Amino acid sequence: MGKNFKAWPKDWPKNLNYPEIPVYDFLDQAAARVPNRVAIIFGGMELTFSELKELSDRFATALAAMGVKKGDRVAIHLPNCTQFVIAYYGTLRLGAIFTPLSPLLAPNEAQYQLNDAGAETLISLDLIFPGIKEVVSQTKVKRIITTSIADCYNSIIAPLKPIGKIEVPDTIDMASLLKEYKPDVPKVSIDVKNDLAHLAYTGGTTGISKGVMLTHRNVVANVLQFGAWFNGNQFEMQDGVLNFVYPPGVDPKKDRITAPDQETALVVVPWFHAMGTIAYLNLNIIAGNTMIVFPRFDPREYIGAVAKYRATILGGAPQLYIPLVNLPDFESYDLSGIKLAGSGAAPLALSVLEKMLDTFSGVVCEAYGLTECTMGATANPPDRSSIRPGSIGIPVPDTECKIVDTVTGEELTPGSEGELCIQGPQVMKGYWNKPEETAKVLKEGWLFTGDVAKEDEDGYFYITDRIKDLIIYKGYNVYPREIEEVIFEHPTVQQCAVVGKPSPEGGEAPIAFVELKKGTQATKEEILDYTNSKIAHYKKVRDVIFLEQIPVSVAGKVLKKELRERLKQE
């Protein structure tokens, strides 16, 4: 049917000029444009863009000296820290492939991913490497580089930071490599359209994790798509310089939500996740944003940093916002300087969105994507008046979405529910060594997402649910998301999830798992009565199970697979 541009922001480019550059050029561009601007603040360390580039060049030189070459897979097993950025760009500069290894993986999961990727180089943290040490010997890893958070603290600030460096035998010290090697990186030719930049593994919420192959072109395109979305600019490459181009008369500092080389972003989204790597690392780097980096999330530390650093950008999954808005003194914090608050990875409850809009003076932008499309495909327009609560927004530049019948594959008209499909330059090359799995989701240039969605007459899309999460009761389709929105409105509910349990009456019956806010109480009957009074009879919740904490992935997605397993065991 073609893309619907009814809600397209005025003067925003519908198509972008994508430069033929590798991903690491983002750091090179920022270092050349604003060499002395602070790029990262982490613990006791500040680094400018030029310093960050030199350190990544030094690390690339060290990797090359150890035998790492183009096409090799380098696994980065680190939380958010300065060394992650250095290792990431150093790896890409050699034409090697970045494969993120979540520090939260169980040893057997880490072993599977290392073996599946065929990684021969592992970069890990002294505090977490012992947790996977035993399984690494059962992989193809030839060299292990370790680093420490303590390396970021100078001798003056060290007494205030109760973290000491831990010796890790039989590994190579990253700090020593950076000191020993000069920034003399060998020249490597990169085919941006075909050479892989990332081998990023899916979250595995519905099965075995798969390696998603993303080229340099995929990553560059997705970073620039979202950069242009928030800045309202075009890109032009002139004499090796990537320029931000605006319509005549537009002053980005006054006429746009954000502007290059002006913003300060709070970064707690894990860089080993797609949203973190694209939106909260690469996008911040090319935009020249100063990043205030946190290795873990503490609601009070995070919200206090807004005033401390005069932050203008924050973002993450709903799991970040829910604890923030539920702080007893949330309204006492001055968040008027926040220009942009991004939300993705999972649906943002309407009650949480409304509280955010009441508190933030800027835009709360809910977006949607998945690893298979690098990171993102849709977003709400960057204007408060254009936000549609409950919507994932409209497709970003050069991206098309359609809704198809889950059985026939026929494209459906607006208002109809079906599977969401995506087409654009950010769609993956395929799954690593899994041609049959690739063929199931890539069909005639379209990525079939597995998400149930609908489109309205203005071109906004709405995720109804995951196809695999759909509950069928006596022939009726029951969408858990719809029930969860009602449960979320109960004043005692912090988080919730609805899954299906086999029912003797036919199909599955909806069961609610509920996590209560601290200091509140509610009974099963109260939640059932509140919820079932607001939904159709066939959708009614049959039982409520209270949990201290709803299980979520590192991306902030509720792990419904675990909840279904719990029901089976019971």
Q: Domain segments of the chain: what residues? A: 25-398, 476-569
Q: What is the pLDDT of residue 506?
A: 61
For strands 196-201 and 172-173, give the pairing: unpaired
Q: What is the pLDDT of residue 205?
A: 45
The conformation of residue 558, written as its DSSP 8-state character, comes to B
Strand partners, 242: 237
Q: What are phi and psi of 463, to 5 degrees?
A: -80, 125
Would you say the C-alpha torsion 178, 183, 189, 190 has a positive or negative sign? positive
DSSP one-letter string for 437-501? HHHHHEETTEEEEEEEEEE-TTS-EEEEEEGGG-EEETTEEE-HHHHHHHHHTSTTEEEEEEEEE
What percent of the residues of the chain are helix, what percent strand, and what percent coil, each to the nearest 5?
Answer: 30, 25, 45
The tokens 């994508």 sit on which residue?
18
Distances (CA, A) of 329 to 326, 333, 337, 339: 8, 7, 18, 21
Query: What is the token pair recorded at 111?
Result: 């072993």
- Listed as ranges, residues in the chain with pLDDT below 50 are 205-206
CATH architecture of 25-398: 3-Layer(aba) Sandwich (3.40)
Residue 257 · residue 362 · CB < 8 Å: yes
Angle subtended at Cα 64 by Cα 63 and Cα 68, rounded to the nearest 5 degrees: 75
The tokens 């099963």 sit on which residue?
524
Q: What is the pLDDT of residue 4?
A: 95
Select the CATH number that applies to the domain covering 476-569 from these four: 3.30.70.270, 3.30.300.30, 3.40.50.970, 3.40.50.1010.
3.30.300.30
DSSP one-letter string for 339-396? -EEEE-SSPPPHHHHHHHHHH-SSEEEEEE--GGGSS-SEE--SSGGG--TT--BEE-
Q: Would you give the distance in Å from CA 457 to the centre of its chain?
A: 29
pTM, full prediction:
0.86
For the chain, the farthest-separated pair of C-alpha atoms sits apart, in whole angstroms, at 71
Q: Measure the CA–CA gap between 300 and 310, rounded to whole angstroms.
A: 15
Q: What is the pLDDT of residue 206?
A: 47
Q: Measure the CA–CA gap between 565 and 570, rounded to whole angstroms.
A: 9
